[in-house]
A = this chain, B = another copy of it.
Amino acid sequence: MSEKRYLVLAEGKALDPHYGKTARGVILYGPHPVSALVDSENTGADVEGIPVVASVEDGLAVEPRANTALVGVALAGGRLPPEWRVLLRAVLEAGLDLESGMHELLSEDPELADLARRHGAEIRDLRKPPSNLSVSSGANLLQDATVVLTVGSDCAIGKKSVAIELDREARGRGLRSVFVPTGQTGIAIAGWGIAVDAVVADFLAGAAERLVVEGARLGDLLFVEGQGSIVHPQFSGVALGLYHGSAPHFLVLCHMAGATEIDGCPGHPIPPLAELVGLHEALALPARPARVAAIALNTQRLGDKEARRAIDEAEEDTGLPADDPVRFGPGRLLDAVLQRLPSGIRTA
A236-295 contacts to B (CB < 8 Å): 236-245, 265, 267-269, 271, 279, 282-283, 285-287
Whether A200 contacts B271 by the Cβ 8 Å rule is no
Distance to closest chain B CB from A264 (angstroms): 10
Is the CB–CB distance between A238 and B204 below 8 Å? yes
Partner of A76, one of B135, B197, B286: B135
- Is A134 in the interface zone, CB < 8 Å from B? yes
List A132-176 residues whose CB lies under 8 Å from chain B. Answer: 134-136, 138, 141
- A234 interface residue per 8 A CB criterion: yes
Q: Which residue of B lies closest to A243 (CB)?
A: B236
Q: For A201, give its contact among B198, B243, B279 (CB under 8 Å).
A: B198
| Majority DSSP secondary structure for residues of A touching B | helix
A202 CB–B CB distance under 8 Å: yes
- Shortest Cβ gap from A240 to chain B (Å): 4
Chain B positions within 8 Å of A64 at CB level: none
A111–B319 Cα gap in the complex (Å)? 61
Pick the contact of A197: B138, B201, B235 (CB < 8 A).
B201
Q: Give complex CA distance A136, B234 in Å.
A: 6
Contacts of A79 in B (CB 8 A): 134
A206: CB under 8 A from chain B? yes
Q: Once the chains are docked, how many angstroms separate the CA of A105 from the CA of B285?
A: 32
In the complex, A21 has a CB within 8 A of chain B: no
Q: Which residue of B lies closest to A265 (CB)?
A: B138
Considering only CB atoms, which chain B residue lies closest to A207 in the complex? B201
Complex CA–CA separation, A271 to B230 (angstroms): 19
- CB pair A235 B202 closer than 8 Å: yes
A241 and B233 form a contact (CB under 8 A): no
User: When the two chains form their complex, are residues A283 and B204 in contact, meaning their CB atoms are under 8 A apart?
Assistant: no
A327 to B201, CA, bound (A): 32
Q: How far is the CA of A279 from the CA of B286 in the complex (A)?
A: 14
- Pairwise interchain contact B242-A237, C-beta atoms closer than 8 A: yes
Q: Considering the complex of A and B, which 9 residue pairs feature the smallest CB-CB distances, nearest first? A: A237-B241, A204-B237, A77-B134, A197-B202, A240-B240, A237-B237, A77-B135, A135-B234, A201-B201
